[in-house]
């Protein structure tokens, strides 16, 4: 097979491909038109972050079977165009893990012992020993947000330093946490108890600004914050204010909302260490991702074995197509309803659809469940089930040809810490996707945007109380659905919002008499 290496990768990776009998051309720095003019000759292409695999290039290909990304992010590859063309896209997510974990530990040492400040003052000809008194790490508590592959490696190293490790990750099962000797806690508890907080989750709609002014105010004044994951998870303005006002002791950032940043004010603070996104910038990591993607491409071209794919360029049964997005949204809703650490997910497909091979629908639901918090990989139909297994989440797939009320029905149930959340949906003619069950309540609404799921007792004035509180906070209700089991009994409201409600407003809602719970869900 003929392979184009469009960005620099390790010689080891190139040698591996050639030794397997592939013809390899290394042509780096090519522009879009140049790539489009030669891509028709190649069966595979390898890129890093510099080369953009655009629709124009992909459509110009004649026999391209796979695009390999030597690294994690695939923003530079047009996945939609590749999928339409039947081209597999894969990445190499494992090669950067150790380097990122080690950088995190290094930044923790730098914060604890004032190493950058000590170096700077010495170079200025100053001997400020007394001012640079630091802290030891042994016996301190490290809070890890996101216990995926990088978070796990950080935990192991911190434990080796004699630190107490706690973690917040709704997708890690309690059993797996026990094996890792890590105590799972809520986010608020982690922030309050930790001497060091380190972030290892992905950037999604749910995790954007996850650490803002409210969360920073819950940290100890002596605590430090580290982010080597993604820019945008920490609100940079809120962090600047917290550091400037000494509300926390310090921070270390390797990632930023915009890279390089337009505003360098965080870099100018004495209690903030900044590095230019060097988490994966080690010789070993670069060699590892090159070798990893080369091995994966060889396996696919030679044996048809797929590893770390980020798309699914296969033709699906047309009867299943309308339910793919629905299942993904059901999984995404279920994990947000659960709130706690998920131990299992059951996907039940009922009705005429049960006569089809619905395993792919189960995979779509699991992908939705995992998407919010899996940092180290793009979750998709191919890798969803292995990722769930890796995190200790049991997946059950059930089918039944009986569906009394609907032609087809998909039910997704999630178990977490002894509780169970269930959401069900279907496709209704001329209406499209509809959610028809939330826990034990029959409902009907379109799953899109941001909405509030409010459980309450059926008492006069409940709708008015909720609407008034949201209105006072400038939050507009676009649509409302209500349901109850019986008069005066348990009831629910589903409120579609024009914009997300701040966490503080959600907490205010919970203080309304006869209101049992309020959960904001974003799709």
Integer Cα distance of 177 and 183 in angstroms = 7
Active site residue 277: yes
- Concerning whether 69 is annotated as a catalytic residue, the answer is no
Query: 517: which 2 tokens?
Result: 């719970």
Instruction: Say which of 157, 200, 230, 456 is annotated catalytic.
Output: 230
Give the DSSP letter string of 342-394: EEEEEEEEEEGGGGS-THHHHHHHHHHHHTTT--SS---TTTHHHHHHHTT-E
Name the catalytic one among 59, 259, 401, 499. 259
Instruction: For residues 5 and 28, give the distance between their C-alpha atoms in angstroms, rounded to a whole number.
Output: 7
Among left, alpha and beta (phi > 0; psi -120 to 50; other), residue 181 is: left
Q: 């042994």: which residue's tokens?
A: 138
Distance CA 160, CA 472 (A): 51
Which residues, including other chains, have CB under 8 Å from residue 366's CB and lie 6 or more apart?
331, 345, 347, 384, 385, 388, 393, 395
Which residue's entry shows tokens 């930023």?
A: 256
* Farthest-apart Cα atoms in the chain, separation: 82
* Tokens at 453, concatenated: 């799921």
Distance CA 200, CA 147 (A): 7
Give residue for tokens 């899996």: 374
Three-state DSSP at 232 gives coil
Q: Distance between CA atoms of 343 and 171, rounded to whole angstroms?
A: 8
Cα separation, 14 vs 305, whole angstroms: 19
How far apart are the C-alpha atoms of 32 and 30, rounded to whole Å? 7
* Whether 411 is catalytic: no
**111-119 contacts at long range (C-beta below 8 A, 24 or more positions apart):** 111/196, 111/224, 111/226, 111/249, 111/250, 111/251, 111/252, 111/273, 112/136, 112/137, 112/196, 112/224, 116/273, 117/270
The CB density around residue 144, as the number of other CB atoms within 10 Å, is 29
Residue 91: closest CA among 64, 66, 70, 65 = 70
Angle at 169 between CA 164 and CA 172, to 5 degrees: 95
Active-site hit among 113, 183, 277, 420: 277
The answer to whether 92 and 72 are in contact (CB under 8 A) is: yes
Inter-helix orientation angle 462-472/503-510, to 10°: 150
Give the residue from 468, 491, 467 showing the smallest Cα distance to 480. 467
Active site residues: 230, 259, 277
């Amino acid at each position: 097979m003929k392979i184009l290496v469009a960005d620099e990768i390790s010689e080891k990776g190139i040698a591996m491909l050639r030794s397997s009998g592939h013809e390899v051309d290394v042509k780096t720095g090519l522009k879009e038109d140049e790539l489009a003019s030669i891509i028709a000759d190649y069966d595979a292409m390898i890129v890093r972050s510099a080369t953009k695999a655009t629709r124009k290039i992909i459509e110009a290909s004649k026999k391209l079977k796979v695009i390999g990304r030597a690294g994690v992010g695939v923003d530079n590859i047009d996945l939609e165009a590749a999928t339409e063309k039947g081209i597999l896209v894969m990445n190499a997510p494992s090669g950067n893990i150790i380097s990122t974990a080690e950088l995190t530990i290094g930044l923790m040492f730098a914060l604890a012992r004032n190493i950058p400040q000590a170096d700077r003052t010495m170079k200025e000809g100053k001997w400020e020993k007394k001012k640079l008194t630091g802290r030891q790490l042994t016996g301190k508590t490290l809070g890890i947000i996101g216990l995926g592959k990088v978070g796990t490696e950080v935990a192991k190293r911190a434990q080796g330093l004699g630190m107490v490790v706690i973690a917040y990750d709704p997708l890690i099962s309690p059993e797996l946490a026990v094996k890792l000797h890590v105590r799972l806690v809520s986010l608020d508890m982690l922030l309050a108890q930790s001497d060091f907080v380190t972030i290892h989750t992905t950037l999604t709609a749910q995790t954007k600004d996850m650490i803002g002014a409210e969360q920073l105010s819950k940290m100890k004044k002596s605590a430090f914050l580290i982010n080597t994951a993604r820019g945008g998870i920490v609100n940079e303005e809120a962090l600047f204010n917290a550091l400037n006002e000494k509300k926390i002791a310090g921070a270390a950032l390797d990632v930023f909302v915009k890279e390089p940043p337009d505003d360098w004010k965080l870099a100018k603070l004495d209690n903030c260490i900044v590095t230019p996104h060097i988490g994966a910038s080690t010789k070993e990591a670069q060699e590892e991702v090159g070798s990893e993607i080369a091995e994966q491409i060889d396996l696919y071209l030679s044996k048809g074995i797929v590893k770390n794919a980020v798309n699914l360029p296969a033709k699906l049964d047309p009867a299943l197509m309308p339910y793919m997005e629905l299942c993904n949204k059901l999984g995404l809703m279920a994990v947000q309803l659960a709130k706690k650490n998920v131990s299992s997910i059951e996907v039940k497909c009922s009705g005429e659809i049960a006569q089809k091979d619905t395993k792919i629908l189960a995979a779509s639901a699991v992908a939705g469940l995992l998407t919010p918090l899996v940092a180290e990989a793009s979750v998709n139909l191919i890798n969803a089930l292995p990722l769930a297994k890796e995190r200790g989440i049991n997946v059950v797939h059930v089918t039944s040809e009986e569906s009394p009320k609907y032609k087809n029905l998909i039910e997704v149930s999630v178990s977490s810490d002894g509780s169970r959340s269930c959401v069900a949906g279907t496709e209704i003619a001329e209406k499209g996707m509809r959610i028809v069950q939330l826990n034990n309540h029959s409902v009907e609404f379109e799953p899109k945007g941001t909405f509030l799921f409010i459980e309450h007792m059926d008492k006069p004035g409940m709708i008015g109380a909720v609407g008034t509180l949201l209105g006072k906070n400038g939050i507009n209700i676009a649509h409302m659905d209500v349901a109850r089991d019986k008069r005066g009994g348990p009831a629910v409201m589903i409120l579609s919002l024009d914009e997300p409600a701040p966490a503080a407003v959600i907490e205010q809602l919970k203080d309304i008499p006869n209101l049992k719970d309020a959960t904001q869900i974003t799709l």
